[in-house]
Each structure stands twice: as structure tokens, then as C-alpha cells.
Amino acid sequence: MKLPKLAIDNYQFTILVFILLVIAGISSFLSMPRTEDPPVNVPGASVIVIFPGATPVDLEELVAQPIEDAINELGDIKRIQTTIKDGLVYLSVEFYFGMDARKKYDEVVDKVNGIRGELPAEILELNFLEWTTSDVVIMQLALVSESAPFRELFKEAERLKKMIQQSKGVKSVGIKAYPDEEVRISLNFPKMAAMNISLDQVEKAILSNNANIPGGSLKLSGKNFNIQTSGSYSSLPEIENTVVHSFRGWNIYLKDIADVVFTYEDQIYYARVNGKRCIFLEVKQKEGYNIFRIREDLQTEIMDFTDALPAGISLFPVFDQSIWVEQRINHFLGNLLQGILLVGLIVLLAMGFRSSMIVILAIPLSIIMGLFMVDLSGFGLQQISIAGLVVALGLLVDNSIVMVENINRFRFLGYSPREASIQGASEIGWPIISATATTVLAFIPIIMMPEASGEFIKSMPVTIIATLTMSLLVALALTPLVTSKIYHPISVNATKKRLKFFENRLQKLIEGPYRRSLHYALNHKVLAIGFAVAALIISLFVFQYVGISFFPKAEKPQFLIQINLPEGTNLDKTNLVTMDVEAMLDTLSGISYYASNIGHGNPRIYYNVFEKNYAKNFAEIFVQLKEYNAREFDELMVQLRHQFSEYPGARINVKEFEQGHPIEAPVMVNVTGENLDILKEISEDVERMISEQPGIINLDNRMSKKRIDLSVNINKIRQVFTEFLSLRSIKPSGRPSMVWPSQNSVIHKGKSTRLFCECQLEKR
């Protein structure tokens, strides 16, 4: 091994190299992206279609099937899964891992947009979701007010949104739980019938007057003038004064047959914080940016915004990811300091002051230089890479300890510090390389793990390998150089005199009990091997009682409460159930605050929990505890699950945050077939068998959800509704007639009843 001698003989170059590596490591530490979770891009995408009022049967034929056919033309598809509910289609397509995730997402978007003209025009929203952990909300804010109108809340939210968007590193800012404003036209059908005005006439009149058509240009007196038309509507009076018809020589305006008001749309999403009405703002971070720098910029903007808020409106911070990132980094720095102190203390007592300083120096140097390699590999500081640093902390001091001890051995043999450093390092160099290589190779399979799990955890083995490699370089080059400069010569005769008290005790321990135990084991080989085999058998027996999980719990003082009511439940009923849950949460002393989402999922604040879209029978409550204690947290989860399991007419799940790549559930059982009735029976049997297993929580059978609808049997012979809507039923006298109300049969649970239908059409 010639590296120690080269490092000592060329000490200026060696020192310069290590100084450059340290500077590069410090620069990487200061500039590395900081997030809570590692960015993982899975080759896949989700297509979300919102079509209010459409049934699952219609959605399958008109929306789901055309989109599936279009996406199926792409290559490398692993799985296409579609979920259809009333007014909602959720289609997910997964490609084989290893494909370019961004490219595959763009291909899905292009394919769906290519058939957009073939899909129904009544579709309210068509959204795409990229499968990436970098799309997580890093900050969730709530504008709270019990009295301020939504218009004023939205105005303040827009002002804050513009301020936040100017901050570097902010990807997007969204406003949630705000009902859009609309112009609502409520037609007076009796008046329309009296004037023989049809709904089609009114619609065409409004559309034609709201058109913004270029007027072209006009040549006049050697000049060219662009003609500008009045364009679309800009005020309510313009809409009210739209001419829709003429009757007996008089123009009929829209205000003569309708009420035109500017109001909010029917609310489909309620939001509250601690029971108080609010709207949410969600902030997303650009990939590759430092979350702490983003927070510094946002804190100034938020403070200025809060000071200027009008009376009756307050800003409440619901979630801030930077807090948890800071806690994890501080936790690691605390572990690092503890490790340095403990290692330094043991080495100080066993090897002396100078030797302990050399070993202690190896710890931060290896980590700092290792961070430079981690940064070059494309990883930042997040919970997985920090976990790798914690693991490496207990490994990287071994090389320097072994190296310093062997150099001291040569010093005690009478070698000069320089010769002892060269001889000691050269003798132990290859064994240290071999030992480090075996440790490094143990982490190579983790790097090569397939699928999303491997991608998610890859930064941990990379971090460990990088820091161990740097510790090896420190042990082989820097440690011999430092010992050759700071050690003093020591004579053989003075060796025993220079041994410290603790060193003498350590030597006696090695020479005494340990040596006797070693001799006994070597002289009784069968007994020693039998004892080892027995210990192995006992360990295997006890192992079955140890819990097994590839990824641990997140260990955060946060959780979600998901409320699911039967299909067809309206938003008001869901809101009442949510209020009951909120009232129960108010009685718990350990809860700091909670944020309720009725009709929608909470914004995506955790990387493997996706935001649920609009559903009137669904609500989700984000709960923040005052502090996290593992035992108390588990007891609270058991208590809440027991209480909510007895709630009538609703399924209420308590969901903890867990580590790992995004999955819908740890265990999923799919039953396939053509007959829905048979599938329902089988699914109920499977559900019953699974529920009998111990430890099962949050069991969900989608086929068990029942729905009650009203089936209207229209009398097509009389065509009552057709005559009513067309308004063309004219008596011989020339006066229009109306059927009001109209009667039709309704079939409900096998029984026939009568339904009186009162119709009011609104133009939105």
C-alpha cells in the first residue's frame, strides 16, 4: 500500500485536495435541495373527468371507454385501471418502471387532448395528475372568517396568491373551497309561454350577444381603420337588456321574462378550521429548491399580508412542511454531535488526547465530503438521505480508529512518527479497504431494487456508500499525514509508563476475562458451536413475534379522519356527520387544531396520500396534535377507531401517515367478472372473511356501497315533458296552454307511487 507514503511525502498536495473536498462539501450542504421526501417520478398518470349529473353507465360509454381506447394505443403499458362514480371518472395508467416518466405523462396528455372534441361538451373539468412525490403541498394556509362574504375572502386570497407567486422556488399556488361566482338567469316559464318564447330562442339570443367577433377593417380617405365590436357582456344590465323576442310589435328583453342575478354557484366543497368557515391556499415547491429559503421569503410576505387583513378575517397556518424538514435535520445534527462526543470520549480514555482528536476529526470530514458526492449523484437532503447519514455515523469512525491504533503500535515498537505512520497505514491499508468494500457491497442490492420502492429508498444506500468511501480516503491519506505531524517519538522502555489508567484497565480486560473466555471456547469447540446454534434457534422462534414492515410509520403528530357515507348522500348530510366528528375532537385535550374538508379531500400534504376529488358523500379532516408520543399516539388511534366504528350510517376511518412509495392500500383483493350481482355476493364473502382476521383496520369494499335512486317512468305517448319544454302546445284560440304540475309514475323499491315534478330551468 503506497498511498499513505505518497500522502505524507506530498503533504502540500494532500492538504490542498482535502481542503477543496471540504469546501465542495460545505457548498453542497448549503445549496442542496431540502424537502421532506425524496422526489420519485413513477411512469404513470391519472386522468380525472368531472361530469356533473352523469350516471356511471353513461360515463363508461361516453367518457371512460373513448379515453381508454386512446391511451391503449401507447406502448409499455403495465396496467389501466378506471373507477367510475356519479359525475366522476378516475382513470390511472401505469407504465413499466424504467420508462421516462415525464415523456409518458406527456404522451397521455397528448392522447386524451387528441380526442377532447369527441368527448361530451358538458364535461366540467378534465384534469391530469402526474405520478410524482414532488407535487406535494409544502404549505397550506386558511383564510378564516365567519361573517365575511366569500367574495371578500377570495379577494384577499388572490392578493396573497400574487405575493407568494413572486417568491423564487414556488411552483404554484391554488385556492380551494371557494365557490365560483356566476350569472344566474331564472326564467319565468308562464310569461314565456304567454309570449310564445321558447328556451332555445333565449339561449341563442344570449350566446349571440355574448360573442366577441373581430369586426375587420375599413378603408376610408386613404386610411385603414380597425373595427372594434362591443364584444361580450361586461355588466348585468347588458345581460338584462338583451332582446330575446318581439311580441305584438314590442321588443321583449331578458329582464321581462327572467331574473338575472350575480351569485355563487351551488357549493360542493365546504372547508373549516376548528369549526370556523374558511377557504384554503396551497403552495407547491419547484423541484430542486431549498425549502428553507422558500420559507424565509414567504414569511416576510405572509407577515405583511396578515398586518393588512381587514377586521373579521384571519390567516391560519394549517401545514408547513419546512417545520418537519428542519426537525429531521436538527435531529441528525444532534445525533452527529452525540456521536462525536461519545466516540471522542471513549478514544480519549483509551488512546490519549491526540489520537482522539484525529478520530473525531474524521467524522465531520467524512460526512461533509460525502455530501458532496451525494449532491453530485442528484440527491438532496430529505428524510431518506438523512437516515443514511445516521446509519453511516456508526460506521465511518471504524477505519480511522483501526488506523490510529496500528500507527500507535508501531510507535510503541520504537518507530519515529513518520515511519510509524507509513508502516502502520501501509500494513493495515488493504484490510481496511477490504472491510469497507464488504460493507459497501452490502448496500449495492438496495440501490438496484426495482420499481418505485427502490427509487424511493435509493438515496439512503448512496449516502452511506459516499460517506464510507470518504472515510476510507481520510483513513488512508489524511490520518497518516496528521499522525506524522502531531505525534512525538516514544521509546520502548517508556511504553508501560505512558499507558494511562483507563488503558491499563482495558489491557487487563483483554488479557484477563476475554482471553480466558476465548481459550475456553477454543478448547470446547462442540459446546461453543452448540451454544451458537441454540441461540440461532431461539432467535428464529422469537422472530415470529416481531412486526414486519418494509417501511415504518412516519411518526408525525398528524393523521387524517376519512368519512364515507352511502352513495347518493347529499352534501348537507355529510356536513352534519362531519360536525359530529368535530364535536368529538373538541373534547380531546391532545389535539392542537383540525382542518375539515367536506365534499373533497384535504390538499395533498403527504407524498403517498393523494387528494380525493369532489364527492358529496365524502369528507376528510386533517388533525394536528400538540406533540408526538408513540405510545399515546397509538392509544389515541385505537380509541378513535373504536368510537367511530359504532357511528350509524357512516364508515369513518382513521388513517396514519406511513413511509413508502404511494399505494392505495397495503393489501388489495380484486375480484373480476362480468356479472355485477355475482361479484357483489363474492365481494361480501371476501369482506367478511378478511374482517375476521386480527389487526384489520380501514376495510373498504367498494361493491358494498348501496345507492337509492328515483326512477321516473315517462309516459312517452302523452309526451307531457316534451310539450312542456318546447312550449308549442297552442289551443285553437291561439293562446298557449301549460301543464303544471305534470304527473308521472315513479318506481321505488318495487312499488309504484306518484311524483309531482315542478321544473325550473336556470341558465348558468
Q: What is the CATH number of the domain that holds 199?
A: 3.30.2090.10
State mean pLDDT over 67-90.
87
* pLDDT at residue 86, as a whole number: 76
| 441 has pLDDT over 80 | yes
* pLDDT at residue 560, as a whole number: 93
pLDDT band, very low/low/confident/very high, at 110 (cuts 50, 70, 90): very high
Instruction: Confirm if 400 and 362 have CB atoms less than 8 A apart.
Output: yes
Distance of alpha carbon 268 from alpha carbon 586, whole angstroms: 25
| 80 has pLDDT over 60 | yes
* pLDDT at residue 451, as a whole number: 76
Cα(first)–Cα(last) distance of the chain, in Å? Answer: 83
Beta bridge partners of 175: 281
Query: What's the length of the chain?
Result: 764
Of 498, 515, 549, the last residue of a domain is 498
Residue 280 and residue 241 share a domain: no
Whether residue 370 lies inside any domain: the answer is yes
Q: What is the mean pLDDT of the chain?
A: 81
Residue 169 and residue 91 share a domain: no
Tens digits of per-residue pLDDT, 506-547?
A: 666 666 777 888 888 889 889 999 999 999 999 888 887 776
Distance of alpha carbon 179 from alpha carbon 462, whole angstroms: 47
* pLDDT at residue 382, as a whole number: 83
Whether residue 460 lies inside any domain: the answer is yes
Whether residue 535 lies inside any domain: the answer is no
Whether residue 503 lies inside any domain: the answer is no
* pLDDT at residue 87, as a whole number: 80
* pLDDT at residue 489, as a whole number: 75
Distance of alpha carbon 6 from alpha carbon 681, whole angstroms: 77
* pLDDT at residue 551, as a whole number: 66
Residue 475 and residue 369 share a domain: yes
State mean pLDDT over 96-110.
88
Query: Cα separations (Å) of 512 from 504, 515, 758?
Result: 12, 5, 100
* pLDDT at residue 315, as a whole number: 93
Distance of alpha carbon 119 from alpha carbon 740, whole angstroms: 35
* pLDDT at residue 578, as a whole number: 94
* pLDDT at residue 495, as a whole number: 46
Residue 716 and residue 695 share a domain: no
Instruction: Confirm if 136 and 603 have CB atoms less than 8 A apart.
Output: no
Whether residue 682 lies inside any domain: the answer is yes
| 487 has pLDDT over 60 | yes
pLDDT band, very low/low/confident/very high, at 749 (cuts 50, 70, 90): very low
| 572 has pLDDT over 80 | yes
Distance of alpha carbon 93 from alpha carbon 65, whole angstroms: 14
pLDDT band, very low/low/confident/very high, at 741 (cuts 50, 70, 90): very low
* pLDDT at residue 595, as a whole number: 95
C-alpha cell at 723: 310539450
* pLDDT at residue 262, as a whole number: 83
* pLDDT at residue 26, as a whole number: 93
Q: Residue 599: which domain range?
A: 558-702
Distance of alpha carbon 182 from alpha carbon 179, whole angstroms: 9
pLDDT band, very low/low/confident/very high, at 373 (cuts 50, 70, 90): very high
* pLDDT at residue 724, as a whole number: 47
State mean pLDDT over 371-388.
87
* pLDDT at residue 764, as a whole number: 36
* pLDDT at residue 704, as a whole number: 64
Residue 272 and residue 298 share a domain: yes
Tens digits of per-residue pLDDT, 676-710?
A: 778 778 888 887 888 777 777 777 776 666 656 66
Query: Cα separations (Å) of 236 from 180, 242, 259, 676, 762?
Result: 17, 10, 11, 50, 16
Identify the weakest region by mean pLDDT among 24-33, 41-50, 583-592, 675-684: 675-684
CATH number reported for the structural domain that contains residue 303 in this entry? 3.30.70.1320
* pLDDT at residue 738, as a whole number: 37
Residue 741 and residue 673 share a domain: no
Residue 386 and residue 485 share a domain: yes
pLDDT band, very low/low/confident/very high, at 486 (cuts 50, 70, 90): confident
Query: Cα separations (Å) of 509 from 85, 353, 747?
Result: 73, 22, 91
Residue 59 and residue 22 share a domain: no
* pLDDT at residue 715, as a whole number: 66
Q: Name the domain count of the chain.
A: 6
Distance of alpha carbon 764 from alpha carbon 121, whole angstroms: 15
| 596 has pLDDT over 90 | yes
State mean pLDDT over 179-186.
85
Of 652, 677, 702, the last residue of a domain is 702
* pLDDT at residue 755, as a whole number: 33
* pLDDT at residue 663, as a whole number: 63
Whether residue 339 lies inside any domain: the answer is no
* pLDDT at residue 744, as a whole number: 36
Residue 563 and residue 452 share a domain: no
* pLDDT at residue 406, as a whole number: 87
Q: Give the number of other Cβ atoms within 10 Å of residue 429's Cβ.
A: 20
Q: Between 104 and 333, whose confidence is greater?
A: 104
CATH number reported for the structural domain that contains residue 648 in this entry? 3.30.70.1430
Tens digits of per-residue pLDDT, 201-240?
A: 888 888 887 776 666 677 766 777 777 666 677 788 888 8
pLDDT band, very low/low/confident/very high, at 751 (cuts 50, 70, 90): very low
Residue 21 and residue 43 share a domain: no
Whether residue 331 lies inside any domain: the answer is no
Residue 468 and residue 581 share a domain: no
Percent of the chain with pLDDT over 70: 85
Residue 439 and residue 417 share a domain: yes
| 746 has pLDDT over 60 | no
Q: Which of 698, 588, 596 is nearest to 635 (CA)?
A: 588
Query: Cα separations (Å) of 65 from 81, 387, 457, 749?
Result: 12, 45, 37, 31
Whether residue 533 lies inside any domain: the answer is no
Tally of helices (H runs) and strands (E runs) in the chain: 27, 23
C-alpha cell at 192: 314565456
* pLDDT at residue 85, as a whole number: 79
Tens digits of per-residue pLDDT, 546-564?
A: 766 666 777 889 999 999 9
Tens digits of per-residue pLDDT, 614-667?
A: 888 899 999 999 988 888 998 999 899 988 888 888 889 998 888 766 666 677
CATH number reported for the structural domain that contains residue 407 in this entry? 1.20.1640.10
- Strand 88-95 to strand 41-50: parallel, antiparallel, or no bridges (unpaired)? antiparallel
| 326 has pLDDT over 70 | yes
| CA 560 to mean position of chain CA atoms | 13
Q: Between 512 and 164, whose confidence is greater?
A: 164
